[in-house]
Amino acid sequence: MNRTGKLHLGATTLAAALIAPIGFAQVFVDEQFNYADQAALDANWTLSTNSVLTLDSSAGNALNPGTGTNPNIWAGSTFTLDPSDAAPVRFTADLISDGTVNSVTTVGLRTGANPLFEMGMYRLFDNVLNPDGSTSPGTGSGIGVRTINVGSDLPGQDWVKMGEYYTGSARFEATFGESSVTTRIDLGIDGTWDFTYTETGTTPMGNFSELRVHAPVAGTAGNGAIVDNIRVEVVPEPSTFALLGLGGLLFAALRRRTA
């Protein structure tokens, strides 16, 4: 996929776009942690030396203890994703928390040090989300997002607190356009987005090639979180499919003329 969001499709795929549903997405990671044992999980992750993802095979998820600074890096597939407004990148993950203050676990996308994106639980934010959707410099611990070379350049290390620590499950979702990202959090995973934050910049953010589960700093009297249902996908806008459908019709017409 290039900067304009065009999809490189063969003739057969182009014709098939005529019947592709509007919600069609190209999935690059669908990690549900449904492994038979720890060794099977290890085969798909390059694990940290001090904060290893530990499989709970009965529940189909993994625990990040939140006690170290090194990341666990996805190795089950390779990807390089360059978000565009025509073909946004959507990134989702579920974090199950015991509510302990100062817990630290984030899921993130990045390429080296730049761009860098992570969302989840953290113990020290630089900015806070206001009720009107703006941000202000401020401190605190809880849940939120970090954006470096993604959207605007915020004070500190680009951490934005969106809410307080919670107990139970929450779904974190980020949707990236060419120069913006919208992050949402659904506490309880009940279909209601409790927090939404959009950050928009003026320049393209570049590509993502690395998926991480991370404890950005060692927790202070805190814990980690259970991680589940990590998904990375490209979700073309409906107008993209309309163009593909038109291309498919033209392709079919040309085949009839040359038959």
- Each residue of 153-180: pLDDT tens digit? 899 999 999 999 999 999 999 999 999 9
Average pLDDT over residues 31-55: 94
pTM of the model: 0.84
Amino acid 218: pLDDT: 59
240 sits in the region (left: phi over 0; alpha: psi -120 to 50; else beta) called alpha
Residue 6 has pLDDT above 60, yes or no: no
Amino acid 239: pLDDT: 53
Amino acid 251: pLDDT: 44
Amino acid 221: pLDDT: 59
Amino acid 257: pLDDT: 53
Strand partners, 187: 170
Amino acid 3: pLDDT: 40
Q: Which of 23-27, 77-81, 251-255 has the lowest mean pLDDT?
A: 251-255
Tokens standing for 63?
């625990």
Average pLDDT, the chain: 85
* Cα 238 from Cα 92, distance rounded (Å): 20
Which residue has tokens 């970090």?
146
Residue 98 has pLDDT above 50, yes or no: yes
Amino acid 19: pLDDT: 38
Residue 225 has pLDDT above 80, yes or no: yes
Q: Which residues, including other chains, have CB under 8 Å from residue 128's CB and lie 6 or more apart?
A: 135, 136, 137, 138, 140, 160, 161
Residue 112 has pLDDT above 50, yes or no: yes
Residue 183 has pLDDT above 90, yes or no: yes
